[in-house]
Amino acid sequence: MVDDVLMRREGAVLVLTLNRTEKKNALTGAMYDALSAGLAEANADAGIAATLVLGQPGIFCAGNDIKDFLAIAMSGMAGSPVIKFLKALVSNAKPLVAGVDGGAIGIGTTMILHCDYAVASERSVFATPFVDLALVPEAGSSLIVPELMGHRLAFEMLVMGERFTAARAAETGLVNRVVAPEVLEEAALKAAAAIAAKPREAVAISRRLLKGDPAALLARIDEEARLFAERLKSAEARAAFETFLSRSKS
């Protein structure tokens, strides 16, 4: 586990904290691997009954590291840490809770779709600017978001890249609860601990019933990844990455 993802135990809750503040918690390959390892550890450990993912105060996650997009464009997505993490999210067997304070961008938003419960602070903002980067939605979001909020809101979020405030995220079912930033971590931990305290087998069976057969979701993740990899090679995507990276240097 790298320092960019911290892991700690709080009773029966495994807490994974994104810890790359200087880059707004943008996810690198090593961070995806650390998150996958955290989920695997939680699943294998009988002492753990729920996992909580947190960011840092004021920033949850700025999405995939945009520099890494350029590298992935060369090497492809198949078998990449991103795809392994997305599949780990789908096969994850224990309840997963997210505590979001601040920006949740790209995968910062789409990973929440795989959580069983999410708490956000009032100042959180959710955005998936895939199309503005000349990319396409990922993480199964093109399947889950229309089911969650209907086509038009899904279009607004995933294609138009509109930012959703915390209040709107709660209205549209993206998060369960909105709290003040000062109590975000405490509220998320409390929710995870409450889930962890319930009869574990009954939770696991109920969760499987609610989630249903993952085959369509896994197939969609693969289809999105194929299209995403093609888009990464496009001139318009490269131009969008260069624009972001040169902006951040100035």
Residues that bind ligand COA (CB under 6 A): 23-24, 26, 62-67, 103, 105-106, 129-130, 133, 248-249
- Strands ordered across the beta sheet of 177-179: 5-10, 13-18, 50-54, 96-100, 117-121, 177-179
With respect to ligand COA, which residue has the nearer C-beta, 83 or 192?
83
Backbone angles phi, psi at 42, to 5 degrees: -60, -40
Q: State in angstroms the smallest separation of the CB of 52 from ligand COA.
A: 22
Whole-number Cα distances in Å, 202 to 12, 49, 207, 213:
16, 12, 8, 18
Beta carbon nearer to ligand COA, 179 or 240: 240
Cβ distance to ligand COA smaller for residue 66 or 166: 66
User: How would you class 126 by CB atoms within 10 Å of its CB: exposed for 0-12, middle for 13-18, buried for 19 or more?
Assistant: buried
What's the closest the beta carbon of residue 227 comes to ligand COA, in angstroms?
14
Least distance between ligand COA and beta carbon 16 (Å): 19
Round to whole Å and give the CA distance between 160 and 241: 18
Closer of 117 and 241 to ligand COA (Cβ)? 241
User: How far, in whole angstroms, is CA 222 from its chain's centroid?
Assistant: 17
Give least dist CB 231 to ligand COA, A. Answer: 11
